[in-house]
Each structure stands twice: as structure tokens, then as C-alpha cells.
Amino acid sequence: MTRLLFIAAAGFLVGAFLVTIVRTVGHEPYGAAVPAPSQAGHAPAPASAPAPASPHAGHGMAAPAATAPAAPRVINTICPICGMDVDPAIPPAAWEGVLVGFGCRACPPEFANDPAKYGAAARTNTVVEP
């Protein structure tokens, strides 16, 4: 009888021990399930990544628009000094925020002697009388 009680007690202890292990193992999946929602919480952060892409596209469209008004342009088509058609191959001279074109390479130095006089003529696209 004593042995039977011992075996029964031992069986009970083993059973209790196994149940404890099963419960412990059973709790681990629950513990692992807790971080799962946090990972799901991290998922929305990468989902918002495409949002900055649209401002970048808008920036690309704004860049050409800002460049066009900033570039100075040649205001005359006739050289204010010699009266020839403005030659695009000759670098224009910057004057009061605009560019003055020339018809021959001898005219830019002449323009430098009196930019105000020749520049005013370039505004009206006329030739300065010598």
C-alpha cells in the first residue's frame, strides 16, 4: 500500500510538473503574441513613407518655374551701336538686370564706354546716332 501511495504521489507530482511545463510553454506563445501587435504598430510608419514622395514631385515642378523668370534676356534685336542684327554668337552685356545684344565683336567695348546711352537705345531697339 505504501508503494502504491508513493507511486500515486509520484505520478501526481510528475503530472503536476508536466502541467506546469505545459502551462509555462502555453504562456510563451501568449508572450510572443504581445510583441506581434507592436510590430503591426510599426507597419504604419513605413506605410507613410510614400507621403514625402508627392512633395518631392511638386518640388520638381516648381524648380523649372523658378528658373524661367530669373534668367535675364536680351532686350534688343538690333545692335544699338552699329545697327546690325544681334548676333547670338557674341556674348551679350548685362545692364540694369537685362542683357544687351550686339551685332559685331567691335561693339561690346564701345558699349562699355557708355552703357547708359547704349543701354537706353537697346531698350527701344534703336541705334545710337554717332
| Interaction site with Zn ion (CB under 5 A) | 79, 81-82, 102-104, 107
Min CB(50)–Zn ion separation in Å: 57
Q: Helix (H, G, I), strand (E, B), or coil: what is residue 78?
A: strand
| Least distance in angstroms from the C-beta of 130 to Zn ion | 12
**Based on CB atoms, which residue is closest to Zn ion, 21 or 106?**
106
Question: C-beta of 73: minimal distance to Zn ion in Å?
Answer: 19
- In the chain, the N- to C-terminal Cα span, in Å, equals 140
What is the full DSSP assignment across 80-110?
Answer: TTT-PBP-TTSPPEEETTEEE--SSTTHHHH
How far, in Å, CA of 99 to CA of 125, rounded?
A: 12
CB 112, min distance to Zn ion, A = 13
Residue 31 or 88: which CB sits closer to Zn ion?
88
Q: Which is nearer to Zn ion, 11 or 91 (CB)?
A: 91
| Partners of residue 99 on adjacent β-strands | 74, 94
Give 72 or 83: the residue with its C-beta nearer to Zn ion.
83
